[in-house]
């Protein structure tokens, strides 16, 4: 058989997109020291220096910059580092990940990577909620500030400071994905005209943004491969999937694996978001297990066990059988996780159509997600939301 040549591949056709490097997890996390090469579906001749394009641009302040706020908005007019250009082939994977110039390029690539995923789930382009004032999102690659934030026309990234070691959030995919999640959420729901004390707009925004981060991470093939190999297919183990915004190899800002119910949380928006995030994480894991059972990689009795109350003997048995099945059929485990990821991601995205930002409550958001889900996923999501006391049990 004679193999035909692909002229587009050989010629480096710009319509194929543009190459970048992205760290799926911060490079100080063991196993993620090297970035992944990704193709962004943007023609090379549509990306300018910065990088920049029709929807966003990056600035990298030369001196310390005050974070944006109500009285400070883009565009940035101060002294800035020279905008970073592509390599001779017009791709952006020619930079060393250790270079200072890599920060703005990595931040830009991460925002686009996340945006592409969620536009796919939504089935339409995201129009920035601030586009009547600012036609493009301004990404600030580095601010000397222990935080990151997204707001009206901007996304800016500071750095963590753990034990005197500063790590830029521009290299932290979780952080960038979370902030991009806020921008997607506001662009789809709109800004509330008024938020009362009983509303959950900000809590759901935090939960949604954490879930954007979690689900987007699962779109790196290398990340799924590492995750499953490390856990031998057992996602109940403590792993990189359930940690948000790692600031060092030992610390993180939040955990998706939690057992909080609504009766146990405060009114603080991040705390109140935890049961919602936990319900979605539990649903992804449960759908993953159902796929494994359907594909002959797990005992059907797994579906009758409450995973939140596993006895040690049951857990050890599950771990052993899962490890053996993973050794034989590793690709099936990857397919199962991708299926669970997309079932939940599509329902989460579709639910935004029916969310009213002025009256949003967590039970309404949960009901919208269940209504947007298909078949088995709807039942699993409903049961997990009920266990978390977000919606009432039937």
Q: Where are the beta strands (DSSP E) in 209-325?
A: 243-244, 254-255
pLDDT at 300: 83
Do 153 and 276 lie in a common domain? Answer: no
Closest CA to 390 of 246, 274, 216: 274
Q: How far is it, in rounded angstroms, from Cα 375 to Cα 393?
A: 18
Q: Which of 134, 165, 187 is the last residue of a domain?
A: 187
230 domain residue, yes or no: yes
Q: What does the mean pLDDT of the chain come to?
A: 89
DSSP 148: E
5 domain residue, yes or no: no
Q: How far is it, in rounded angstroms, from Cα 92 to Cα 48?
A: 11
Closest CA to 138 of 116, 126, 153, 151: 153
Do 271 and 355 lie in a common domain? Answer: yes
Do 154 and 271 lie in a common domain? Answer: no
For residue 168, give both structure tokens. Answer: 């830029």
Do 143 and 243 lie in a common domain? Answer: no
- Considering the entire predicted model, what is its pTM? 0.91
Residue 309's pLDDT band (boundaries 50, 70, 90)? low
194 domain residue, yes or no: no
Q: Does the structure show a pLDDT above 50 at 75?
A: yes
Instruction: Name the 3-class secondary structure at 159.
Output: strand
Do 313 and 335 lie in a common domain? Answer: yes
Q: Which domain holds residue 32?
A: 16-187
Q: How far is it, in rounded angstroms, from Cα 290 to Cα 302?
A: 8
Do 140 and 221 lie in a common domain? Answer: no
Do 203 and 179 lie in a common domain? Answer: no
Do 89 and 120 lie in a common domain? Answer: yes
What one-character-per-residue DSSP string does 90-139 give? S-STTS-TTSTTHHHHHHHHHHHHHHHHHHHHHTSPPPPTTTTT-SSEEE
Domain count, the chain: 2
47 domain residue, yes or no: yes
Instruction: Name the 3-class secondary structure at 44.
Output: helix
For residue 85, give both structure tokens. Answer: 């250009």
Q: Residue 386's Cα: distance from chain center in Å?
A: 24
Instruction: Name the 3-class secondary structure at 248.
Output: strand
For residue 143, give both structure tokens. Answer: 């601010």
For residue 104, give every residue at least 6 positions away whose Cβ sits within 8 Å of its Cβ, in sequence order, or none: 50, 51, 58, 59, 60, 81, 83, 84, 139, 141, 170
10 domain residue, yes or no: no
For residue 104, give both structure tokens. Answer: 């703005």
Q: How far is it, in rounded angstroms, from Cα 79 to Cα 65?
A: 10
Per-residue pLDDT reduced to its tens digit, 353-383: 999 999 999 999 999 999 999 989 999 999 9
Per-residue pLDDT reduced to its tens digit, 133-184: 999 999 999 999 999 999 999 999 999 988 888 899 999 999 999 999 999 9
Q: Which of 187, 214, 247 is the last residue of a domain?
A: 187
Q: Which of 187, 211, 235 is the last residue of a domain?
A: 187
Residue 263's pLDDT band (boundaries 50, 70, 90)? very high
356 domain residue, yes or no: yes
Do 142 and 282 lie in a common domain? Answer: no
Q: What is the CATH number of the domain that holds 123?
A: 3.10.170.10
214 domain residue, yes or no: yes
| Residue in the structure block whose two tokens are 């997890």 | 25
Q: How far is it, in rounded angstroms, from Cα 36 to Cα 64?
A: 30
For residue 222, give every residue at least 6 positions away whose Cβ sits within 8 Å of its Cβ, in sequence order, or none: 24, 36
Instruction: Name the 3-class secondary structure at 53.
Output: coil
Q: How far is it, in rounded angstroms, from Cα 277 to Cα 256?
A: 6
Instruction: Decide which of 393 and 155 is more confident.
Output: 155
361 domain residue, yes or no: yes
Residue 246's pLDDT band (boundaries 50, 70, 90)? very low
Q: How far is it, in rounded angstroms, from Cα 282 to Cα 294?
A: 18
Cα separation values, 344 from 114, 122, 286, 310, 337, Å: 16, 12, 11, 24, 11
Q: How far is it, in rounded angstroms, from Cα 255 to Cα 277?
A: 9
Do 126 and 51 lie in a common domain? Answer: yes
Q: How far is it, in rounded angstroms, from Cα 294 to Cα 308?
A: 22
For residue 17, give both structure tokens. Answer: 């997109």
Residue 82 contacts residue 30 (beta carbons within 8 Å): no
For the segment 10-35, the average pLDDT, to the nearest whole number, is: 84
Q: Does the structure show a pLDDT above 60 at 391?
A: yes
pLDDT at 188: 97
Do 381 and 293 lie in a common domain? Answer: yes
Closest CA to 342 of 118, 149, 171, 129: 118
Closest CA to 122 of 47, 181, 192: 181
Do 246 and 147 lie in a common domain? Answer: no
Residue 252's pLDDT band (boundaries 50, 70, 90)? very low
Q: What angle do CA 243, 246, 252 make, to 5 degrees?
A: 65
Q: How far is it, in rounded angstroms, from Cα 196 to Cα 59?
A: 36
């Amino acid at each position: 058989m004679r193999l035909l040549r692909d002229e587009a591949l050989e010629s480096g056709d710009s319509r194929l997109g543009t190459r970048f490097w992205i760290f799926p997890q911060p490079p100080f996390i063991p196993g993620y020291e090297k970035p992944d090469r990704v193709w962004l579906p943007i023609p090379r001749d549509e990306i300018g220096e910065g990088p920049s394009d029709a929807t966003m641009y990056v600035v990298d302040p030369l001196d310390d910059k005050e974070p944006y706020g109500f009285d400070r908005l883009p565009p940035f007019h101060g002294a800035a580092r020279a905008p970073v250009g592509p390599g001779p082939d017009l791709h952006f994977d020619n930079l060393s990940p250790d270079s200072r110039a890599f920060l703005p390029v990595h931040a830009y690539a991460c925002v686009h990577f996340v945006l592409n995923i969620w536009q796919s789930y939504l089935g339409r382009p995201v129009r920035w909620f601030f586009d009547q004032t600012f036609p493009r999102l301004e990404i600030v690659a580095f601010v000397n500030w222990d935080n990151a934030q997204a707001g009206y026309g901007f996304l800016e990234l500071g750095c963590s400071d753990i034990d005197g070691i500063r790590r830029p959030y521009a290299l932290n995919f979780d952080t960038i994905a979370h902030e991009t999640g806020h921008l997607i959420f506001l662009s789809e729901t709109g800004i509330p005209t008024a938020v009362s004390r009983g509303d959950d707009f900000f809590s759901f925004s935090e939960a949604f943004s954490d879930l954007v981060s979690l689900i987007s991470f699962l779109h790196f093939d290398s990340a799924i491969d590492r995750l499953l190999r490390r856990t031998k297919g057992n996602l109940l183990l403590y792993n990189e999937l359930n940690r948000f915004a790692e600031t060092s190899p030992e610390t993180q800002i939040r955990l998706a694996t939690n057992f909080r119910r609504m009766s146990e949380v405060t009114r603080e928006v991040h705390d109140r978001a935890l049961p919602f995030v936990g319900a979605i994480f539990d649903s992804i894991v449960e759908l993953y297990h159902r796929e494994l059972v359907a594909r002959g990689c797990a005992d059907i009795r797994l579906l009758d066990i409450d995973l939140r109350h596993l006895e040690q003997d049951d857990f050890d048995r599950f771990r052993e059988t899962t490890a053996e099945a993973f050794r034989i059929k590793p690709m099936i485990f990857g397919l199962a996780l991708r299926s669970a990821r997309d079932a939940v991601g599509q329902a989460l995205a579709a639910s935004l159509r029916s969310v009213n930002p002025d009256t949003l409550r967590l039970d309404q958001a949960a009901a919208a997600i269940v209504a947007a889900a298909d078949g088995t996923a709807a039942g699993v999501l409903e049961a997990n939301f009920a266990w978390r006391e977000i919606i009432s049990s039937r």
